[in-house]
Amino acid sequence: MPRKVDHQARRTLIADALMRVAAERGLEAVSFRHVAAEAGVSTGMVQHYFGNKDEVMAFALDVVRERGEARVTAAVERLGQDPPPRLLLRTIIAALLPLNDQTRADGRMALAFLAYTAVRPQLAPALRDDTAQMVGFIAGLLPGPDAGTAAAGLLALMEGLGVYLLGGQYTAEQALAVLDDQLDRLFARSG
Amino acid sequence: MPRKVDHQARRTLIADALMRVAAERGLEAVSFRHVAAEAGVSTGMVQHYFGNKDEVMAFALDVVRERGEARVTAAVERLGQDPPPRLLLRTIIAALLPLNDQTRADGRMALAFLAYTAVRPQLAPALRDDTAQMVGFIAGLLPGPDAGTAAAGLLALMEGLGVYLLGGQYTAEQALAVLDDQLDRLFARSG
C-alpha cells in the first residue's frame, strides 16, 4: 500500500516554520533554505509548496490578516450587543495595533510586506481592496458630513501609530492617548 | 609617484550606485554584489567602504533624510517671512509625503529601513530622536492645551499617509484632502 502524503499537514508544517523564521529574522530576509531548515524538510519541498518569494510574502500577509480579524472579532464580541460607535472603533483599532508581543510580530510582518510591495506594484491590488473596505466601514461609524475623508485619516493614523509602535518611537500608552485624542476630535462634532 | 586614491569620490560613486540599485530593487534586497556591479567596482571595495548591511541601511536613510530636509527648507523658503502656523505645517508635511517619483523613491527606502529596523532594535534609537524632535516642533505650532498629543497624532497621520501613498491605497489628492481635513480639525480649536 503506497504511503499517503497529507498535503494539508505538510503545508501547515512548512507555513508554521515560515512564520517562526519571519518573526525572528524579518519576513524580507526569509529564504527557502531557512524555512526548510526550521521545518526539517528539503528546500525543494518548500519550493514545491510555495513556488516563489511573492507567494511566501502573500501567504504570510494572509496569516497576519486572519489573525488580525480573529482578534477584532473576539474584542468586539466582548463588547456585547450594539456598542456605541466610538467604543466600537476604539476597540477595533486597539485590537489591530501592535501593542503586545504577538501583535508586534504580526505588525513586523505586515510592515515587511508593505516595504516589499512598495517596489513590486503587481502585489498592491490586494492591499487596496482591504483599505477601501476598511475606510468604508469606519466612515459608516463616524458622524459628520465628510465621514469618508475623516475615516481615511483615522485609518492612516492607525497605520502610522503601528509603524511608530514597531520602531519604538511611541509607547503603547502614547499611541492609545493619540487614538483617544483623535476619537475625541472626530466625535466632538456630533456631541 | 604613487597613484593617489580619492576616497571621497569613490565613496560617492559607490553611494550613488547603492541608491540607484535600492530605488529599483528595494533597499532590503540590495547586496554588495549588486552595488559593485552597478558602480563598476569590486565587491571587496564596496565592503571596504560600507562594512556591513546595517551601515548600508543607515547610510541610505541618511541620504533620504538629507533630501527630505532639503525639500522642506526649499518649500519653507518659498513661503517668505513668518508664514501662519497652519500653512507652515501643511507645507512641511506635503514636502515630506511621497507625492512624486523622486519622493516616492525616497519613501520606499524609508519604509524598507523601518521594516529592517523593526527586527533589529539596535538601529532604532536614531529613529526615536528624529521623531521626538519632530513631535516637539509640530507641538510648538499647534493651538490648544494638549498640543503634544495632537502633534504625535499629526506625525503618525503623515507616516500612515506615506505608507498608503507608496502602496497605492490613497492617491495624492486623497492624501492631501486627509491632511487638510486634519489641519482644519486641529486649528478649529483656536479659531
Tell me what ipTM this predicted complex has: 0.89
- What is the signed CA dihedral for B176, B20, B125, B49, rounded to 10 degrees? -160
Q: Within an 8 Å CB–CB cutoff, is residue A114 touching chain B?
A: yes
Residue-wise DSSP of B25-65: H-GGG--HHHHHHHHTS-HHHHHHHH-SHHHHHHHHHHHHH
* Per-residue confidence (pLDDT) for residue A116, from 0 to 100: 84
Contact B108 A118 (CB under 8 A): yes
Mean pLDDT of all residues in B131-136: 95
Mean pLDDT of all residues in B93-120: 90
Which of A136-140, B38-42, B127-131 shows the lowest mean pLDDT across its residues?
B127-131
Which chain A positions have a beta carbon within 8 Å of B168's beta carbon?
A: 121, 124, 127-128
Interface test with B, best of A52, A61, A108, A111 (most B CBs within 10 A): A111
Domain ranges of chain A: 1-51, 54-188
* Per-residue confidence (pLDDT) for residue A191, from 0 to 100: 42
Tell me the per-residue pLDDT of B148-158, one tens digit each, with 9 for 90 and over: 999 999 999 99
Mean pLDDT of all residues in A22-31: 79
- Residue A136 makes CB contacts below 8 A (sequence gap 6+) with A151
CA A150/CA A127 separation, integer angstroms:
20
pLDDT classification of A134: cutoffs 50, 70, 90: very high
The H or E element containing residue B159 is helix B147-167
Which chain A positions have a beta carbon within 8 Å of B155's beta carbon?
A: 160, 164
Tell me the per-residue pLDDT of A53-83, one tens digit each, with 9 for 90 and over: 888 888 888 888 999 999 999 999 999 999 9
* Per-residue confidence (pLDDT) for residue A171, from 0 to 100: 96
* Per-residue confidence (pLDDT) for residue A4, from 0 to 100: 67
Burial B44-72 (b: 16+ CB within 10 A, else e): ebbeebbeeeeebbebbbebbbebbeebb
Which chain B positions have a beta carbon within 8 Å of A157's beta carbon?
A: 153, 156-157, 160
For the domain with range B53-188, which CATH number is right: 2.30.180.10, 1.10.357.10, 3.30.70.990, 3.40.640.10?
A: 1.10.357.10
Q: Which of B38, B36, B27 is nearest to B60 (CA)?
A: B27
CA B68/CA B106 separation, integer angstroms:
8
Is the pLDDT at B183 greater than 70? The verdict is: yes
| ∠ Cα B135 B140 B142 (to 5°) | 90
At residue A103, what is the residue type?
T
Mean pLDDT of all residues in B76-91: 96
Q: Within an 8 Å CB–CB cutoff, is residue A49 touching chain B?
A: no
Average pLDDT, chain A: 89
Which chain A positions have a beta carbon within 8 Å of B159's beta carbon?
A: 159-160, 163-164
Instruction: Assess contact for B146 and B191: CB atoms under 8 A.
Output: no
- The superfamily (CATH) of domain B1-51 is Homeodomain-like (1.10.10.60)
Distances (CA, A) of A38 to A30, A113, B167: 11, 21, 31
- Residue A42 makes CB contacts below 8 A (sequence gap 6+) with A36
Mean pLDDT of all residues in A149-156: 98
Mean pLDDT of all residues in B79-106: 95
Mean pLDDT of all residues in B97-116: 90
pLDDT classification of B191: cutoffs 50, 70, 90: very low
Is the pLDDT at A43 greater than 80? The verdict is: yes
Q: Within an 8 Å CB–CB cutoff, is residue A156 touching chain B?
A: yes
* Per-residue confidence (pLDDT) for residue B74, from 0 to 100: 97
Q: Within an 8 Å CB–CB cutoff, is residue B166 touching chain A?
A: yes
Cell of A145: 458630513
**SS3 category, B191:** coil
Contact B107 A127 (CB under 8 A): no
Cell of B116: 529592517
Distance of CA B155 to the CA centre of its chain: 13
Query: Where do we find the cell 550613488?
Result: B16
Contact B177 A111 (CB under 8 A): no
Instruction: Assess contact for A143 and B133: CB atoms under 8 A.
Output: no
Tell me the per-residue pLDDT of A93-116, one tens digit each, with 9 for 90 and over: 999 999 999 899 899 888 888 888
Q: Which of A85, A133, A147 is nearest to B181 (CA)?
A: A147
User: Matching CATH topology for A1-51 and A54-188?
Assistant: no
Which chain B positions have a beta carbon within 8 Å of A165's beta carbon?
A: none
Q: Which residue of A has its CA nearest to B98?
A: A118
For the domain with range A54-188, which CATH number is right: 1.10.357.10, 3.30.43.10, 3.40.50.150, 3.30.420.40?
A: 1.10.357.10
Is the pLDDT at B41 greater than 80? The verdict is: yes
Which chain B positions have a beta carbon within 8 Å of A54's beta carbon?
A: none
pLDDT classification of A2: cutoffs 50, 70, 90: low
User: From the CB of residue B144, how many other CB atoms can be counted at a distance below 10 Å?
Assistant: 15
* Per-residue confidence (pLDDT) for residue A49, from 0 to 100: 86
Contact A160 B156 (CB under 8 A): yes
Q: Which residue of B has its CA nearest to A187?
A: B185
